[in-house]
Amino acid sequence: MNFLLKKEISQSNKFLKQGYIISKVEKRKSLNYLKNIITINSQKILKRKNLNLNKIHNYVSANNVNEFRLEILNKLNKDSNSRFHYFNLARESLSNLTSNELMMQKNINLSIQLPNDESSLLPIHSDVWSGDSPYEINLWLPLVDCYRSKSMYLLKKKYLEKFILKLKKNKIKNSSKIFNLVKNEIIFLKIKFGNFLIFDQTLPHGNVINQEKETRWSMNCRFKSMFSPYGDKKIGEFFLPITTRSMTKIGLKYKSPFIK
């Protein structure tokens, strides 16, 4: 039996078929809150007003972009409301695709990719290859319009089984060789500002050199069901509960009077 609503079934089927969904943010206020943190702190660091995030490469070089990114990231994760607003962007979709009792990554990630910068590359990978649980889901948020090489790519889900067989057969571990294996079977996702991406991180993904004339800004954070299996990243160390229900709290505290 399936008691999901038609809207939930439609979203679930789409996700299961293609391994990702792109949708409008559910709370625009939360998007504005997060972008304001990024923009205001960027302006303070660079001592400039009315910054256009797309044009940040005019003020930040490839040599110091990571230091700049970490300074903003520190401000973002120190803000006591940032995680709530990040979750609030896609609360209904995360609940539908994952669980209504969720664990959330302790810290939000931030990526800044300048045009033609080779230092910000993320080679093809699947998060589960490095210890993440296959039960985790990734909420990816663009802070600017992302397209072509300014975006991320994802292996089309219909090719996943074929890719795994190729990988086992050829025993390839070099990321550039893995990319060459699937370069005709990936899709560069087009995601406008105001939308979010939720994707299955068991699918190989990554980025390439940004050959567009604008800087890419994106955020990402992982979520999982509280009671689904964990990988190397555990509760407290990496994940914190954010939607624990009443009966779970009662059940976790319960001690049987008949057990010594």
Residue 260's pLDDT is what? 67
92 burial level (CB within 10 Å; 0-12, 13-18, 19+): middle
Encoded amino acid at 31, one letter? L
Q: What is the mean pLDDT of residues 69-96?
A: 98
Find which of 72-86, 177-191, 246-260 is predicted with most confidence, using mean pLDDT. 72-86
Confidence tier at 259 by pLDDT (50, 70, 90): confident
* C-alpha distance from residue 48 to each of 43, 44, 149, 213 (Å): 5, 7, 28, 21
Please tell me the distance from the alpha carbon of residue 247 to that of residue 254, in angstroms, as a whole number. Answer: 10
pLDDT per position as a tens digit, 179-190: 988 899 999 999
**Where do runs of H (alpha helix) occur along 183-221?**
none
- Over the stretch 98-137, which tens digit does the pLDDT of each residue have? 999 999 999 999 999 999 999 889 999 999 998 999 999 9
Distance CA 90, CA 101 (A): 14
Give me the residues paired with residue 196 across strands: 23
| Of residues 130 and 28, more confidently modeled | 28
Average pLDDT over residues 143-171: 92
Question: Has residue 212 got a pLDDT over 70?
Answer: yes
pLDDT at 173: 73
Mean pLDDT score, 48-77: 97
- Which of helix, strand or coil describes residue 122? coil
Helix, strand, coil % over all residues of the chain, rounded to 5: 40, 20, 40
